[in-house]
Amino acid sequence: TAVKDFSEIPQPKSLPILGTFLDYTKFRGFNVANLSNLFKARFDELGPIYKNKPGLSEPTVHCFSPQDNEKLFRLESRLANRDPIEFLKVVRERIGVPSGLVNIQGEEWYQLRRIVNEHFLTNSSVWSYSKDIHEVSEDFVDYISRSLDSNNEVPNFALALNKWALEGAGVFSLDTRFGMFTGEVEEHLQEIVDNSNLMFQLMAELTVAPPFWKYFETKQALKQCQAAQVAAIKKQRDILLKRIKEKDPEKLTKLEKLMTKKDLPQGEVDILVSDMLGGGVDTTSNAAAFMLYIMAVNPDKQEILREEIKTALQSGKVDGKSLQRMKYLHACALEAQRMFPLTPGTSRRLPVDVVLSGYNVPAGTRLLLLSNVAHHKNPEYFDQPESFLPERWLERKHKSKFAMIGSFGMGARACPGRKFAMQEVHYLLISLLSRYKVEYHHKPIKPHFRLVTVPSEEPQFTFIPL
């Protein structure tokens, strides 16, 4: 079949100069919470690939084909190129701090990512924090026990989940317990917590703002927030460095080794911690909310998982290696991510021309890879797609399909904290389901888009003591 030209890629209806800009405004009924629905509607209308050009911006090619996505990840170089978060990059330049892993490109990105992977993606590093992460979840469940109201619910449970995720993020990004559930939080640690929450909220607002965002107060608020966040993190980092000097070099944790690397500037460490606390917290708390919801509305699956947890706990504490052997727990997590993908997709720019769905796409074109939006509930790929069936992931044939629902991104630029995030969620389920039955008695929860996917309703659960 002859390859078609880039100009022939299908496009939605658009206006001169404005292009499709109005489709992303309230004039056309657009709500950013339903961004994934717009992508899915375009897929249904235009097929597996289309080209979009809002206003004066460059065209973006939207790719829904899993086969195209796989081809793109095979072709990307080790210097995987993804567009930066432009407003965050500008803000950091203006306050004189590094751009951060999410915003840099090329060899600079590769060298920093290689160092980061040693701490965040090796099993030995992740497992070394399993005891502390399990303790965080136990403290959280103790908090739940103390906080239950007359309906056996925890008031404002979404906030409590956020605190739990922050407590866990503090463990793996700062070797620090903030003390969210066990006592008074030190002033500079509370600043880190408050600014982490505020930064993610501001970034969510700016992500969907029009391009003149830079002239408005939201950007100024982000600038002040980022500066305060870095100052508070630097204070805690100095405390850790003092502690490190007093330790045997052979007994340093992976994070302590990362913090003392001679080829990693301290400013880069501070921004890395800031990104892990900001992005990691929101992603992890929402992943946990979706997971608890889907378990609550599927009590039969919850009971199967509870039995696996009981068996694992009979041998004592569940460490990292034994956690890996809990097949049904992992299957439940994969199925929850299928039904509630944490991101609509990811972006790339390839250094070479590529043929996607029969069309030639020139090197350097901005690509949005959205196969999870189109296919996470496609019956061609998943039997009974609307049903929560963790058992499907116990079959070898389904394992490769996870590529189309990569909730933490895909390829070389996938979220470096994904293993820590899922370890936190796994331990939460172990601690919670071993002591409570979880129920949900409110409006059905659907995925809404912010900076990541969030629950459409407040995740208020009923906890029934076992």
Q: Which residue has the higher pLDDT, 369 or 345?
A: 369
DSSP one-letter string for 5-50: PGGGS-----BTTTBTGGGGSGGGT--GGGHHHHHHHHHHHH-SEE
**pLDDT(215) > 50:** no
The pLDDT, as a whole number, for residue 218 is 63
pTM of the model: 0.88
User: How far is the C-alpha of 85 from the C-alpha of 207, rounded, in Å?
Assistant: 8
Percent of the chain residues past pLDDT 90, beyond the cut: 36
Dump pLDDT digits (tens) for 143-200: 999 999 999 999 999 989 988 998 998 888 888 888 888 877 777 777 777 777 777 6
Kindly state the average pLDDT of the residues 364-379: 87
Q: Which residue has the tokens 């509930």?
A: 377
For 294, the 3-state DSSP assignment is helix
Tokens read off for 243:
């502690």
Domains of the chain: 6-465 (1.10.630.10)
User: How far is the C-alpha of 342 from the C-alpha of 45, rounded, in Å?
Assistant: 24
User: How far is the C-alpha of 407 from the C-alpha of 388, rounded, in Å?
Assistant: 17
415 in a known ligand binding site: yes
Band (pLDDT 50/70/90 cuts) for residue 294 is: very high
54 DSSP β-pair partners: 19
Where does residue 84 fall: left (phi above 0), alpha (psi -120 to 50 degrees), or beta otherwise? Answer: beta
Angle in degrees, 0-180, between the axes of helices 418-433 and 157-174, rounded to the nearest 10: 130
**Burial environment of residue 84 by CB neighbours within 10 A (0 to 12, 13 to 18, 19 or more):** middle
Cβ distance 268 to 98 under 8 Å? yes
Closest CA to 153 of 161, 162, 144: 144
The pLDDT, as a whole number, for residue 213 is 47
Closest CA to 294 of 350, 333, 247: 333
Dump pLDDT digits (tens) for 218-277: 667 777 777 877 887 788 778 888 888 888 887 787 778 878 887 788 888 888 888 887
The pLDDT, as a whole number, for residue 237 is 79
